[in-house]
A and B are shown apart, each in its own frame.
Chain A
Amino acid sequence: MANATDPDSYTGATPDNAIRDADRAEKTGQMLAADGTPLKTSLARSLRAQKLRALMLIAPLLIFILVTFIAPIADMLFRSVENQIVSETLPRTVQALDSWDGEGAPDEETFRALAADLTIATELKNHTRLGSRLNYETTGISSLFRQTGRDVDEIGEGYMEQFIELDEAWEDPATWMTLMAADSWIENRAQWASDKAEAEAAQDAATTAAEAIALEFTDPEPPFRLNDIASDALPRTASIFRQFARITQTENEDSPAEEEPWAIIYQALYEDLSAGRGDGYEGQAATLIDEARSAVVGFEDQSIKDYFINEIDEDWGSTEVWGTIKAFSSPYTAGYFLASADLQLTAQGIEKQPEDQQIYALLFKRTMFMSLTIMFSCILLGYPIAFLLSNLPMRTSNMLLILVLLPFWTSLLVRTSAWKVLLQQQGVINDILVWIGLVADNDRLQLINNQTGTIIAMTHILLPFMILPLYSVMKTIPPYYVRAAKSLGATNWTAFWRVYFPQSVPGIGAGSILVFILSIGYYITPELVGGTTGTFISNRIAYHISSSLNWGLAAALGSILLALVLVLYYLYDRIVGIDNVSLG
């Protein structure tokens, strides 16, 4: 019988072979599992299944949190840099502004671009939205845009009249179709029109209502297509005409083949022709273009710039308006974050806000200060209560705990309103103080509508968040530690301070974090009892969300607040250590 442990007598997986393999592997630096694969791989493989199972178990919650919590917050915070509205609504203007030197009104070319952009924006009813966006940066832009929207369709009318005077064909949508539309589109449209007529005839002939419904013709007109000659020969005209055709089809549900084009298209045509463009047409179209091209030399030149500044609003000549448009022309902006730091973005760079409009730094400081004050007063008031609760017999402490929880279950608004009744100058507290004689009747204490009011009311509201973690930590501190300390000769104070208190610190940590983070984002209570000096940054965020609709600024302020909390959390972790936090 051969020795079973003899090396190399058996190959395959035996414990001895495995140890030998491992020995060998150690020499070469690689440990092998029983089946000869490296131990690391083998371990990883068996662990992978476990990890996967764990991941699948938490997946529902993870996905739920991602979709309903993280994603909306990220989306909201992203608005703090988003600024596509300017470049999307005024694409031509933004491009033309590149060459502007930043002094006075820009050149005629930019105004022409503006006229085209604003005509389209007005048709789509986007111009007022852009106006209110830019009004956040410079007062008066909102009404400037609204005013301009009313007048902008008159730009180019002078040219339109001159073209029509030259040849009445220019008034006819059919002329424009020959010049602009692709042959394939004209064919498709003809096909569509005959289909439609056929369907309508069939519908009229239908005997029952159901049949008529089934026969109803709902296809829209095929989307307009430009022809290649137009985009080469008359690029400006073609680009605006395409917009005109698209808007006519999608917004107004009309056909560009039947609608008179906008006045601004004649303007563009004039620009194209006077630049000598327009070659490439054939037949009747060529004659029309040639005729017009030789005539435009004699046309009365009308400056769009003058029209904007003299006829619509002189603010179009102001450096400030154009500076704002230029400064906010990029699709992403730091403008909202600058505004949150009491700065502003101008064409010349970053400047300070006027002194009487600097509020955010003050509000951030005040929010921090008051939240810390509330946190410390919660510790001061909550610690003795938690201590008492954890040292009383179970029956009594449960009773008292309900008293702590009772206000916790009451509506926030009820509690806040109750504080109003208590704290106001003709309120319960002042009445009692006057009755005792501590305070003169004509010199009652101002306890509400200031910081005092906010601190009192919020300390009360947030107190349970301090007491509960403290209580649950203190409950777990064994009483014999203190007894042992005393039996070794410690005084009451030393026993408490050196033995008991350090063990309760995790509870203070947990309570402080809860109270501080909750109070930093509070806004209902400060709004109701804070008056003017007791409000938080969150009140401003709420104002920008619901009243001024400046969601970008609200998002920037919110991002800063979030970053601030995370930084403080990090500092807390470095100084106290997050492992020292216990909720029980």
Chain B
Amino acid sequence: MKTKTILMSTGIACAAGVVFAAGHEQMADEMTVVSWGGAYQASQDNAYVKPYVENNPDVSVTWDESSAEAVAKLRAMNEAGNITWDLVDVVASDAIRLCDEGLAMEVDHDELLAAAPDGTPASEDFGDLIVSDCFIPQIVYSTTVGYRTDAEGWNGTPETICALWDQENFPGQRSLEKRPIGNLEWALLCDGVAKEDIYDVLETEEGQDQAFAKLDELKDNTVWWTAGADTPQLLADGEVVMGSTYNGRLFSLIAEQDQPVEMLWDAQVFDLDGWIIPAGLSDEKLARVKDFLTFATDTQRLADQSKYISYGPARASSAPLVDKHAELGIDMAPHMPTDPANATNTFLYNYEWWADYRDDLDAKFQSWLAQ
């Protein structure tokens, strides 16, 4: 009996000693990271997770391909009081929503993230791309238009975004995203509104009517897509001759699958994708996530990701480090949406504005489609 007591108390003391010695450095060994699946998730796995696990062999990372429904799922988890995700990859507008709802944790970018190699603090290195206190930017991607190079009956090649409306020179079906964002801006731009005035015009009733009237011209010969893979599929099948999608999808259609498709970078709409940390993680989990984030968002790691996918790194200091494609061996810089040659005419999606007007314009857009 006595021996047992001594043994037990020694055991407890040892266990407590380990805990105490580790102190604040205690980190969870498991991490669930949420992303979009497909080539994009693979690029994150190659550029961030594999090197990290190599340095920390006792950590195991589980992927969950739920980013598309991350906002709804996080809200449900939060209400159930059981957060099972540690790190979530979302687009910037979702990050703003999650932050507004109190579902994502606010972070101090300078404290959490590594500085650039030249010592520039992270908040300056990322600059304006930090669109929310909860958001840690990773990549810049764009929604742009691809067209078939072998379309019949075409008169020249499309040069500007307004080619979408030009059925005379470029006859055929189009495909556009089934949401107002991006489409309304393009419509106004092609209806003669100056780029800097677009959101002011779109705020007014008449401006919205003007945009929808312009879209009316397209309505009869447009397929409306909801998944990023739709347009590449439709272009490859010849179902449409011109359509919008994410630039990475077009890159893989052109460079990896060798389809007769070209990209029209004109008036590409920039958007951001990055990490958020769900609110309410335990200290241990949070410590692990923070450690991983510091590693995964440093200058070299962000540049590494562009070896696998044609999205631009969000850090200014990563741009010069962009290298060749890991398998195809082609230079990636000219395929980046941020490359100067591609970025002569661009749009930066106005998050604040859309956060306010999204519900209204979406209702209008849906009823316009239904009519």
Contacts and interface: CB of A to CB of B under 8 A. Distances in A.
Contacts of A543: 362
Nearest to A209: B20
A424 B239 contact: yes
Given A449-B223, A546-B72, A549-B71, A136 B359 contact: yes
A288 interface: no
B367 A139 contact: no
Given A546-B69, A549-B72, A128 B99 contact: yes
A359 B359 contact: no
Interface stretch (B303-311, B336-344, B349-357): B349-357
Interface in B49-84: 68-69, 71-72, 75
A549 B97 contact: yes
B19 A363 contact: no
Nearest to B357: A139
A125 B102 contact: yes
Interface string A123-140: 001101101100110011
A209 B21 contact: yes
A135 B363 CA distance: 13
Given A209-B17, A356-B364, A424 B237 contact: yes
Interface stretch (A183-191, A526-534, A572-580): A526-534
Contact of A142 (B100, B212, B239): B100
Q: Is the interface of B mostly helix, strand, loop or mixed?
A: helix
Contacts of B212: 356
Nearest to B233: A420
Contact of B100 (A129, A136, A209, A213): A129
Contacts of B14: 210
Contact of A426 (B19, B237, B358): B237
A143 interface: yes
B8 interface: no
Contacts of B224: 449, 531-532
B178 interface: yes
B197 interface: no
B75 A549 contact: yes
A356 B213 CA distance: 13
A213 B20 contact: yes
B203 to A, nearest CB: 9
A51 to B, nearest CB: 37
B97 A132 contact: yes
Nearest to B208: A356
Interface in B147-202: 173, 178
Contacts of A357: 360, 363-364, 367
The 4 closest A-B pairs by CB, nearest first: A128-B100, A532-B369, A209-B20, A210-B13
23 contacts: A128-B99, A128-B100, A128-B102, A132-B100, A135-B356, A139-B357, A140-B357, A143-B356, A146-B100, A210-B16, A210-B17, A210-B20, A213-B20, A356-B212, A356-B367, A362-B370, A532-B178, A532-B369, A533-B369, A533-B370, A546-B68, A547-B71, A549-B72
Given A143-B356, A210-B12, 17 more contacts: A131-B100, A132-B100, A132-B101, A139-B360, A208-B13, A209-B17, A210-B13, A357-B364, A359-B366, A359-B367, A362-B367, A362-B370, A449-B223, A531-B224, A532-B224, A533-B370, A548-B362
